Amino acid sequence: MPELPEVETICRTLRKLVIGLSITEVQILWPAVVQNWQNSDFREVVTGRRIINIERRGKYLLFMLDRGWTLLSHLRMTGRWTYYAEKQEPERHTHLVFLLERGELHYSDVRKFGRIQLIPTDLCLCSAPLTKLGPEPLRTDFTAEILQKRLAAKKTNLKAALLDQNVIAGLGNIYTDEALFRAGIAPARKACSLSSEENIKLYEAIREVLKAGIACQGTSLRDYRNADGQEGGFQAFLQVYGRGQKPCLQCGRILEKARLAGRTTVFCSHCQR
């Protein structure tokens, strides 16, 4: 599933490609991809709108349109936005096509979990699901104290707390495991059990892995591609994710694999306490 670095990469790439362009035609190839709107009404509102900005909040992409509308997109497992400069036939899993005044923007999704919502912009930022999201970990106003406060309120283990988008926005399975390994903290620890020293290590590790992920344009293991079709490069730097039963890169012992918060979790029981 795309996490903060992947969605941020898509957002930055799409900004360069489609900001300022008008949507000249909307083709809905799988009706259920549009949430809460009749397809015909959706087409009517979106056709002719200009894309004036693209933002990311957590794992959501926000396409801000003129006349006060925003398209809210969550990619879930396998959703993908791709820009084509030339005319492109939709593929088998393409569910939505925006013909633009220059090029085309396609939304495809093999697993079909992703959805597109159309919301008035002034409501979008101050209503669910965005208002429920926790803080953005890379913003300058997100501090170690804020992280500690939010974790202290959780009775779950750390893995579950960090995956909870209402605690902190944007982390998924990959970057959570990587951050906990870099911080030297065991994922099964109670979220509220961290000392302030451990909390600062975790805070720094979270920001470090997310920044490194963005610098590499994300992690491509199976499905993720950027909006220009490129793969990310952070998979070369993964230290624990996907490395269960392989030797720890720090101590050489075999990495353990466990199920936590319903997700496969890889960690080193020697390096992570």
Span near Zn ion by CB under 5 A; candidates 28-36, 172-180, 191-199, 250-258 = 250-258
For residues 175 and 181, which CB has a smaller minimum distance to Zn ion in the complex? 181
251 binds Zn ion (CB under 5 A): yes
Q: Residue 181 Cβ, how far from Zn ion at the closest point, in Å?
A: 8
For residues 138 and 254, which CB has a smaller minimum distance to Zn ion in the complex? 254
For residues 214 and 255, which CB has a smaller minimum distance to Zn ion in the complex? 255
- Residue that the structure tokens 């104290």 belong to: 145
Q: Residue 245 Cβ, how far from Zn ion at the closest point, in Å?
A: 13
Q: How many angstroms separate the CA atoms of 113 and 269, rounded? A: 34
Q: Residue 253 Cβ, how far from Zn ion at the closest point, in Å?
A: 5
- C-alpha distances (whole Å) from 213 to each of 5, 8, 192, 216 are 5, 10, 27, 5
Are 170 and 137 contacting, i.e. CB atoms less than 8 angstroms apart?
yes
Q: How many angstroms separate the CA atoms of 228 and 61, rounded? A: 16
DSSP E strands, 58-205: 60-65, 69-74, 79-84, 94-100, 104-109, 115-120
93 binds Zn ion (CB under 5 A): no
Site string for Zn ion, 253-272 (x = CB under 5 A): ---------------x-xx-
Residue partners of 126: CB distance under 8 A and separation at least 6: none
Q: How many angstroms separate the CA atoms of 112 and 128, rounded? A: 22
Span near Zn ion by CB under 5 A; candidates 23-31, 32-40, 216-224, 251-259 = 251-259
Among the listed residues 174, 263, 170, the one whose alpha carbon sits nearest the alpha carbon of residue 221: 174
Number of chain positions touching Zn ion (CB under 5 A): 6
Torsion of CA 45, 51, 52, 57, to 10 degrees: 90
For residues 54 and 248, which CB has a smaller minimum distance to Zn ion in the complex? 248
Identified binder of Zn ion from the candidate list 204, 250, 257, 263, rule CB under 5 A: 250
| Residue number with the smallest Cβ distance to Zn ion | 248
The residues carrying an active-site annotation are 2-3, 59, 263
Q: Residue 200 Cβ, how far from Zn ion at the closest point, in Å?
A: 21
Site string for Zn ion, 219-248 (x = CB under 5 A): -----------------------------x
Q: Over the Cα atoms of the chain, what is R_g?
A: 20
Q: Residue 186 Cβ, how far from Zn ion at the closest point, in Å?
A: 11
Using CB under 5 A as the criterion, which residues of the chain lie in contact with Zn ion when the complex forms?
248, 250-251, 268, 270-271
